[in-house]
Amino acid sequence: MELDYSSNGIVRLLETPVRDRSLSWLKTALQQAVMLELATLPPYLCGWWSLDDDSESGQAVSAAIREIIFDEMSHLGHVCNLLTTIGGSPRIGDPGVVAPYPCPLPGGIKPKINEDLKVYLGGLTTDSVEMYSQIEAPEEPLARFAAAAGDAGDAETFPSIGRFYTAIQEAFRQHQGEIKGTRQITRNMEGHGQGNSLFAIRTLADAEAAITIIKEQGEGTDKTPDNTFPGHKGELSHYYVFREIFKGHKLVKVQEDPPKWDFTGAKIPLPKARPMGKVPLGGWATDKTTAPKDPEVKAALTAFNQSFSDMLRSLEKAWQMDTQEAADPHLREAIRVHMRALETPASTLMTKPLPNDPQHTYGPEFLFVPPKA
């Protein structure tokens, strides 16, 4: 299977008639889902690492974004288990999987609220938080964006993340006999939320549970904005957390029947953040005005990209193993060695001003590089 982040692979999959969605279709869809889950992590991490606010409200925003990042990591794990249980093998350590920021979401995914969404790497700002919320946006939010006239009657179908996972769920029902429980990785992550622990996918009920977690942690449901698999009481789904930060106010229920929510609660100040600039396509070196000359910047970029790429390769190896015991060393290496090695170079980069724009700094590129010789 050829991997191409920039293709309209998800759109083509959704255009396939339901009766023609074979086991091969399901495996291809889940590989696209791997690409999709990986695409959201770098922008969220850049925003989180850029935070520089020790106030109570700043710490609360930092904690909320951190929990979302852990949710997204577990979503990637759930998708990998969904793929291996039907005989597939996730490709993670592959340049075709890594997003070429700035770029749209993979596979032709287009949030209804912004068809032209471009996902980029930069520090936490009002604009970046709006981008995060657009990534997570349900097709029909309970507390909407400011909508243009006529939006409510728009009959056009948009390939949203939620719609894509619904199609995957339906395909599992069609091919439930193919669920074998092979190459499953389990991991206790209850400290980050009820749905974050990785569990084995051995039945249709397991598959549906994993897909429900992915959908509802991101978008909420059509009845509540709450994260139905929370890390703490009252935790909202990702979309509404990001909208609270963007709007600068807590989401509160303003009407019971029919239920209605609005961002009119307590004030949420936008946290102070280090002013990481937007990474150009292909990395800082591709633009002569931002190409680094400082040896410390070059070293930090090299170290970050190497650790990021090694982490992806270790994750791919983990899901190639036949047993949990064989997978564990690769999973530990990915998390305890490579993932933990990312924050120091990221923080260093965010202290280094851009040569063409000293008001902004460098930041991580998330470029995929070959293993060290």
Amino acid identity, position 68? I
Distance (Å) of CA 40 to CA 76, 241, 328, 349:
10, 15, 25, 21
Instruction: State the pLDDT at residue 221.
Output: 63
Instruction: State the pLDDT at residue 220.
Output: 60
Confidence check: pLDDT of 155 > 60: no
| Segment 348-366 mean pLDDT | 98
Instruction: State the pLDDT at residue 1.
Output: 56
Which is more confident, 112 or 36?
36
Instruction: State the pLDDT at residue 149.
Output: 35
Instruction: State the pLDDT at residue 146.
Output: 39
Q: List, for residues 170-185, the tens digit of each pLDDT value.
A: 999 999 999 999 999 9
SS3 annotation, the chain: CCCCCCCCHHHHHHHCCHHHCCHHHHHHHHHHHHHHHHHHHHHHHHHHHHECCCCHHHHHHHHHHHHHHHHHHHHHHHHHHHHHCCCCCCCCCCCCCCCCCCECCHHHCCCCCCCCCCECCCCCCHHHHHHHHHHHCCCCCCCCCCCCCCHHHCCCCCCCHHHHHHHHHHHHHHCHHHCCCCCCCCECCHHHCCCCCECCCCCHHHHHHHHHHHHHHHHCCCCCCECCCCCCCCCECHHHHHHHHHHCECCEEEEECCEEEECCCCECCCCCECCECCCCCCCHHHCCCCCCCCHHHHHHHHHHHHHHHHHHHHHHHHCCCCCHHHHHHHHHHHHHHHHCCCHHHHHHHCCCEECCEEEEECCCCCCCCCCCC
> Among residues of the chain, what percentage have pLDDT more than 90?
79
Confidence check: pLDDT of 370 > 90: yes
Indicate the pLDDT class of residue 152, thresholds 50, 70 and 90: very low
Confidence check: pLDDT of 285 > 50: yes
Q: List, for residues 233-257, the tens digit of each pLDDT value.
A: 888 999 999 999 999 999 999 999 8
Indicate the pLDDT class of residue 194, thresholds 50, 70 and 90: low
Do residues 129 and 245 lie in contact, with contact meaning Cβ atoms separated by under 8 Å? yes
Indicate the pLDDT class of residue 61, thresholds 50, 70 and 90: very high
Q: 141: closest CA among 50, 228, 243, 54?
A: 243
Strands 357-361, 252-256: pairing is unpaired
Rounded CA gap, 296 and 354, in Å? Answer: 13
| Segment 251-280 mean pLDDT | 94
Instruction: State the pLDDT at residue 175.
Output: 98
Instruction: State the pLDDT at residue 142.
Output: 62
Cα 38 to the center of its chain, rounded Å: 6
Rounded CA gap, 214 and 237, in Å? Answer: 10
Confidence check: pLDDT of 164 > 80: yes
Instruction: State the pLDDT at residue 235.
Output: 85
> Among residues of the chain, what percentage have pLDDT more than 70?
92
Do residues 94 and 105 lie in contact, with contact meaning Cβ atoms separated by under 8 Å? no
User: Where does residue 163 rank: exposed (0-12), middle (13-18), buried (19+ CB within 10 A)?
Assistant: middle
| Segment 183-202 mean pLDDT | 87
Of 45-54, 139-148, 300-309, the one with minimum mean pLDDT is 139-148
The per-residue pLDDT of the chain, averaged, comes to: 91
Instruction: State the pLDDT at residue 100.
Output: 97
Instruction: State the pLDDT at residue 115.
Output: 86
Confidence check: pLDDT of 198 > 70: yes
| Segment 182-201 mean pLDDT | 87
Confidence check: pLDDT of 228 > 80: no
Q: List, for residues 116-151, the tens digit of each pLDDT value.
A: 999 999 999 999 999 999 999 887 666 654 333 334
